[in-house]
Every structure is written in structure tokens, then in C-alpha cells.
Amino acid sequence: KEVGSTAVVIDETLSVMRLRPGLYAETMQRMRRGRKVQILGVAEADGVRYFKVAAPPVGFGWVQADAVFGKFRPDDEARLANLVQASSGFDRIELAASFLELYPASRLRPPILLLFGDLVEEMAAKLSRDASNRLKRAEMAATAAPVHSYYLNFVSLDRYRKLGIRFLFNSSYRTFHYDGETWKELVEKFSTAAETAEAKKRLDTLRSKLERRRASN
């Protein structure tokens, strides 16, 4: 049933594309997370299940079946959710984003939505510190460009933008904050989920931060 299905590369540790199935087969490339492939065939080698995949522009190759996820295997939702929980740092955010994109109707979506927002807000604090340390105030003052524009063009935000993550900026304290999109989705679409009450608390806290910013200005 896998043949003809579309899959997405998620586990980069296992995503080596080879000329033939087998852990000792010649390597073609390591595919990056988020790459879509079409499954053309299935084989077993060295105790591992392999998919033959079409992956333009490279062409055809074999990749370990565990490296890809999709809707064609019923256990992939739980497998990816477990991988999200087991990961850390930016990888965890990226994996959670992949889950939310792949499984919009999953029963596991509410906890991932809450976790995703918490992870991004936690990372926003680190980004705020990094930006304050790396952006030079004398240089910003010399150009006369708005200070907030320097922060919102900060290079470390680029990889978050690629995931569709949007940060709000507190001009008074020069801090980033997650805009709360996944928390809002929880409140709007999953009113009976156990995580929804926590999402409401997160949004209330976010609004409070923004109100303090407006008052101080």
C-alpha cells in the first residue's frame, strides 16, 4: 500500500539516500527535513526496510523507511509525536511544525499545539538576549533607522520565518514574544480539549505583556 504514496523526510539522522537498499550501499546524498518524495518500491536489506523513492532533481534512490513519514501508515502520527517529545532545541520546534502540517486532523494535535507555542515563547527569550548582545547600539543610532526594525530583521529569526513563525516585539523592553497562533487555534477549534484552558492562560499573559508595553509608551 505504500507504493504510489507521498512521504516527507523527517528524521535526518536516517535520511541517507542510496543507490540500492542496504546500510553498506553507496550513498547519493542525505536528504533534508521537509523534502517530499514519492514511494516507488519496497525492499528489505540488512534488517532494515527501505523505500525506493523519486526525489527530483537527483532522480531515484533508496532511503530507510523510518526516515520518512506520511498518512499512508496509521502509526506515523504517534511515531512523530513521540519523536517531538524526545527531541530538543530548534529540532523540537521544527519537528512539531512538521507534525502540525502533516496531521491537521490528528487526535494528538492539541498537545502538540500547546507544546509548540510554549517552545517558541521559550526560544523568544533566548532570541531577545542574543539580539541585545549582538546588535550594536552605536551602529543603530548612526543610521537613524528605527530600532525595532533592526530587531525584527535580526538574522536568527530567518529560520523561524521559514516555519511560518511570527514574533511580536516589545519596544520598551526590546524583547520578542510568540504571536500565539497555535494557542489561538486550540481555543478556537478544540474547546473541549484538556490543553485549551492552558492555552487561554498563555494568551491572557501575552495580552498583559502587550498592554504593559502600550502603557509604558
In eight-state DSSP terms, residue 29 is E
pLDDT at 98: 97
CA–CA gap between residue 18 and residue 107 (Å, rounded): 35
CA–CA gap between residue 153 and residue 165 (Å, rounded): 14
- Distances in Å between the alpha carbon of 196 and those of 85, 145, 161, 168? 19, 41, 25, 22
pLDDT at 58: 74
pLDDT at 10: 97
The packing angle between helices 89-102 and 76-86, to 10°, is 160
pLDDT at 17: 96
Residue with cell 543610532: 141
Amino acid at 216: S
Residue ranges of E strands in the chain: 6-9, 16-18, 27-30, 36-45, 48-55, 59-64, 68-69, 167-170, 175-178
Amino acid at 207: R
- Distances in Å between the alpha carbon of 52 and those of 40, 58, 61, 177? 5, 13, 6, 43
pLDDT along the chain (217 residues), means of 10: 93 96 96 95 97 88 97 94 96 97 95 98 96 90 90 96 94 93 97 96 91 58
Q: Which pTM value belongs to this model?
A: 0.89
Give which of 107, 106, 96 is closest to 181, Cα–Cα: 96
Pairing state between β 36-45 and 27-30: unpaired
pLDDT at 139: 87
In b/e form, how buried is each residue of 161-185, taking b as 16+ CB within 10 angstroms?
Answer: eebebebbbbeeeebbbbbbebbbb
SS3 of 48, please?
strand
The edge-to-edge listing of strands for the beta sheet with 48-55 is 27-30, 16-18, 59-64, 48-55, 36-45, 6-9, 68-69
Asked if 53 and 29 count as a contact pair (C-beta separation under 8 A), the reply is no
pLDDT at 209: 82
pLDDT at 214: 53
